[in-house]
Amino acid sequence: MEHLFLIKEPILIVLTAIFFLLSIGQTIHTLMQSTQKESRLFAALLLYEVLILVHLLLGCNTAASALQNNGEIFFRLKSITIALEPYLWINLFTALWGLMLTIKLKRPHMIFELIVIAACTPACIDLLDGFSWLLLSVDAGFFLTRITSTLIFDFRHQTSSISRLSLIETVNKLPEGFLCANKRGNVLIMNDAMRNCLVSLGFTTDHIKAHSLWSELKTKEQAETNLVNGVPSEGIRLPISPFETRLFIQSDITLHRQNCECIIALDVTEEEQLNTDIERTNRLLAAANKELEHSIHQLQIVAENEALLTMKARVHDIIGQRLSILHRYLEDENPDSDTLEEIIQLLNHVIDDLNHEDNPEKQAELDSIIDAFHLIDVTIDISGALPENSELAGVYVRIIREAITNAVKHAQASVVSLVFDEQADRHVLTVSNNGLIPKHTIQEGTGFPSMRKAAQSVGGSFTVSSNAPFTIKVVVPSKGDIHD
């Protein structure tokens, strides 16, 4: 291969530089290919790329050797000299290996590449004789194009696909802490988030063992007194800082056919805050529940008192009416036996009347009151009619019963006048009697307060006139708080 010495020096310098740069580019391409296992025959393709790198290094050495000597020396160190020609036969192996891949992967576009590589063997170089510089130029030009395009493709593929490097980078950028160790406890992978968590907890991340780490995390959890507010946890929950809480979970995984121990640190700060808010809300609800129970108890007492007052009023009204009728009958100088039997029936039905609510038919109830007082010759004069509103009519009946009872009992009245006056803006009930006029100021007992309360329950007023005739007046506005 002495004819290589005949190539001009500028051409050899350019070729040496090009092959040197191509060797660097091919090295980068080979390393990037080693991080990907997506294609078939991964190991065979990777070996082929390594052989291409060897081919380019031989090309660089060949051009450099021709520049310094006659192109036959591969390596020289003082008295040691290694010939270049035997190493050029490696290109033949590279071509044959590439041909095998071309057939298996069905890539006919590799034929020209293989021809260029095979032409760089000693036999072809000797055959070309003085045109061997053309072979080196074609070889350099072809691989300049090939390596430039493959590097562009590699960098694009690196940004759009998953490789070993991208997986490691992704794990490193995860907000969750991640640590993976083999069964001996040696850490294989630990991302920045896990490293920061351990440093914040006071651990040293150099030469850390996974087994001892998990035990120390449990010890720290037991030492904490304000964890999760009593909420059970499926792992180890620790505060990393006043504003961050992490949940450490341990599991077993398989990595490269090797059983490994994995520890993950999840950020549960929001969940911790939510648990705190829930606990505070539960305390507020418990307090509100106690207040509600107290209020319900008070309402029950009020309701019982109201029911008791209502019952007292009914007892006073009904029994007072019956006793007034009986008292008037007993004072009669000529008692009638038939009237006595009817009065006895009224007395016998006192309990039944107390057990029943107010009669929904108010007119019938008013008629029964009038009939009862007729037994003792008390005349009830009526002008007008009960209001159509059932609530107001019930109030009127209660007041009428009490007023007639008082008139008969205290004033010895024999005639009671009832006047129902329905005006545009109000309802007026007037009850008067021909009984005795009180000589002193009226001392209110149970009757007057119960009548006044009944009138006020429908938004009305209650007034008493002691002048002759003794008169009770109830005025209820038409737009009062009355419900049908």
Q: What is the mean pLDDT of residues 309-332?
A: 63
Q: Is the dihedral of CA 187, 193, 198, 204 positive or negative?
A: positive
Residue type, 256: H
**pLDDT at site 300:** 78
* C-alpha distances out from residue 228 to 197, 268, 272, 471, Å: 18, 10, 6, 76
Please determine, for residue 113, whether its predicted confidence score (pLDDT) is greater than 60.
yes
Q: Which of 69, 67, 76, 72 is nearest to 88 (CA)?
A: 72
| Least confident among 20-24, 56-60, 109-113, 439-443 | 439-443
* Structural domain boundaries in the chain: 2-165, 174-267, 300-477
Please determine, for residue 357, whether its predicted confidence score (pLDDT) is greater than 80.
no
**pLDDT at site 93:** 93
Q: What is the mean pLDDT of residues 237-250?
A: 88
Specify the CATH superfamily of domain 300-477: Histidine kinase-like ATPase, C-terminal domain (3.30.565.10)
- Burial-class residue 216 by CB neighbours within 10 Å (0-12, 13-18, 19+): middle
Angle at 401 between CA 395 and CA 403, to 5 degrees: 100
**pLDDT at site 78:** 43
Please determine, for residue 282, whether its predicted confidence score (pLDDT) is greater than 80.
yes
Please determine, for residue 358, whether its predicted confidence score (pLDDT) is greater than 60.
no
Which strand (E) or helix (H) includes residue 442?
none
Q: What is the mean pLDDT of residues 137-159?
A: 87
Average pLDDT, the chain: 79
- Give CA–CA dist 56/371, Å, rounded: 132
Residue 354's CB is within 10 A of a number of other CB atoms, namely 13
Q: Under CATH, which number does the domain 174-267 receive?
A: 3.30.450
Please determine, for residue 51, whether its predicted confidence score (pLDDT) is greater than 90.
yes
**pLDDT at site 74:** 45
463 forms beta bridges with: 473
428 forms beta bridges with: 421, 475
Please determine, for residue 179, whether its predicted confidence score (pLDDT) is greater than 60.
yes
**Residue 438 near residue 448, CB atoms below 8 Å:** no
